[in-house]
Structure 1
Amino acid sequence: MLGVFGVIKNISLLGFIIRTFIVGIIAFLVGRYILKRTLNQLTAYDFVLVWILGALTVAPLLDGEISFTYIIVPLLTLFFWHYIFSLISLKNRKLSLFFNGKPIILIDDGKIIRKNLKKHFINVDLLMSELRLKNIFDISEVKYVILETNGHFSIVKKEPNRPVTPTDFNLFAKPVNLPLVIINDGKLFEESLVKSGVDKDWLMNNLAMYNIDDIKNIYLATIDSSKKLYVAKKD
């Protein structure tokens, strides 16, 4: 095992394979236990952290003379400091703005803030591209554009250009509930049947409408709060 974990000038093929396997496990643990906020927001600090963690993780594969001991210590240290910084940012807003930055207004009440565009090297073409991604092709429809700390653009349309909602007409909107998966790859989830208030007999009677008499022939089946079925057969 010393020919795998230690400093090796001429690593064997078997040693390289074992190292690759171990690096895969470390990469899984890094992705599994890194804070979900990091992957979701990916601020500048988070981006640098993820980049460093990736470089450290694969280092033993790039150079046989790099011991796993050399990467475990900095990996654990970075995890520790990232957790501490995230905890401090949660408790202190000023430090949170320091570590994560703050949103930048690019369009304010329909007016383009040119100095903010220049500050972040955003030209008009890139701005228009981001607007088109939000199905906005006329900049006159926009009231606010905000560059978030994770690099995404938040866009608010002017009042006449916003989509109409049930609230605008004082209408009651029917609640939306997530459908339950009752069959996945031919396997029945009876607990989902119980939650949806139906039984297996009800299910089989409704599946007969799809000319299905065996659950094993179903790839996916879901049921919503109104007891509406979605059924996808296996090929």
Structure 2
Amino acid sequence: MSFFGVIKDISLFGYIIRTFIVGITAFLVGRYILKRTLNQLTAYDFVLVWILGALTVAPLLDGEISFTYIMAPLITLFFWHYIISLISLKNRDLSLFFNGKPIILIDDGKIIRKNLKKHFINVDLLMSELRLKNIFDVSEVKYVILEPNGHFSTIKKENLRSVTPTDLKLTAKPVDLPLVIINDGKLFEENLIKSGANKEWIMNNLAMYNEDDMKNIYLATIDSSKKLYVSKKD
């Protein structure tokens, strides 16, 4: 239990034990923090994650810092983050205060320079973000919006948008996720049943790939139309 307390002269073995404990603590921090924090990192979430990370590794960097001393601030920050997130769901003004609000950078093809300067975004960065969305000409853009999490949302002008089945008054075929039926040589019988196929059907189709043993298959998937995808092991 001395590994949890204050250690003035920590040994190499003590560092190893503390590193192991820090690893578990860091995993728990990442496991139980709100998923929104990890996927949509706003300024408020970034500060929280940064503080939690610093607290978690503090006992590893300084042997005189006890693990017991960091539990109170860790629990407090978790509680504070949960409460603020819950209140933000109910109160839009508070949500905008903590998370920020979307900023329009291009409005109907016109670059809003004051918003670029306000957020220290130069033209080169703006153009690189457009190129990532396969847009190479600003004149094609209707809106560019800087989201609270730092991502850029882009909308093309109406005459340059991709045609959809709705535009042509057509009914699109439903899209279903393919089912994994073989993973690293192991047959997933539950997914095989869901697909409406059977083992004999799978083996017959594997023969088309000059394969007669599932153990040699790295990945095999099947879609709703019973189209089979097969990737062999090297």
TM-score range for the pair, normalised by the shorter chain length: over 0.9
The residue that corresponds to 2:116 in the other structure is 117
1:129: Cα distance to partner?
Answer: 1.3
2:222 equivalent to 1:233: no
Gaps of 5+ in 1: none
Question: What code does the residue aligned with 2:43 have?
Answer: A
Helix, strand or coil at the partner of 1:167? coil
- Separation in structure 2 between the aligned mates of residue 203 and residue 148 of structure 1, nearest angstrom: 46
1:91: Cα distance to partner?
Answer: 1.2
- Separation in structure 1 between the aligned mates of residue 113 and residue 143 of structure 2, nearest angstrom: 14
- Separation in structure 1 between the aligned mates of residue 229 and residue 145 of structure 2, nearest angstrom: 39
- Separation in structure 2 between the aligned mates of residue 122 and residue 186 of structure 1, nearest angstrom: 49
**Alignment of structure 1 residues 131-146 onto 2, 5 Å:** 131-146=130-145
- Separation in structure 1 between the aligned mates of residue 185 and residue 231 of structure 2, nearest angstrom: 11
Question: What code does the residue aligned with 2:155 have?
Answer: V
**Alignment of structure 1 residues 1-150 onto 2, 5 Å:** 1-2=1-2, 4-150=3-149
Question: What code does the residue aligned with 2:66 have?
Answer: S
The residue that corresponds to 2:152 in the other structure is 153
Gaps of 5+ in 2: none
Tell me which stretches of 4 or more aligned residues in structure 1 moved more than 6 Å: none
Percent identity, aligned pairs only, is 87
- Separation in structure 2 between the aligned mates of residue 224 and residue 153 of structure 1, nearest angstrom: 33
- Separation in structure 1 between the aligned mates of residue 97 and residue 10 of structure 2, nearest angstrom: 44
Alpha-carbon RMSD: 0.9
2:209 equivalent to 1:210: yes
Q: Which piece of structure 1 moves more, 109-118 or 8-17?
A: 109-118
The residue that corresponds to 1:167 in the other structure is 166
**Alignment of structure 1 residues 173-184 onto 2, 5 Å:** 173-184=172-183
- Separation in structure 2 between the aligned mates of residue 54 and residue 126 of structure 1, nearest angstrom: 29
- Separation in structure 2 between the aligned mates of residue 86 and residue 36 of structure 1, nearest angstrom: 12
TM, length-normalised to structure 1: 0.97
1:112: Cα distance to partner?
Answer: 1.3
1:31-74 deviation digits (Å, cap 9, x = unpaired): 11110011111000001111111111111111111110122211
- Separation in structure 2 between the aligned mates of residue 232 and residue 115 of structure 1, nearest angstrom: 52
Q: Which piece of structure 1 moves more, 135-144 or 69-78?
A: 69-78
TM, length-normalised to structure 2: 0.97
1:179-233 deviation digits (Å, cap 9, x = unpaired): 1111111111100011111111111111111111111111111111111111111
Question: What code does the residue aligned with 1:58 have?
Answer: V
- Separation in structure 2 between the aligned mates of residue 75 and residue 227 of structure 1, nearest angstrom: 50
- Separation in structure 1 between the aligned mates of residue 224 and residue 53 of structure 2, nearest angstrom: 43
1:134-172 deviation digits (Å, cap 9, x = unpaired): 111110111101000000100101112112222221122
2:222 equivalent to 1:219: no
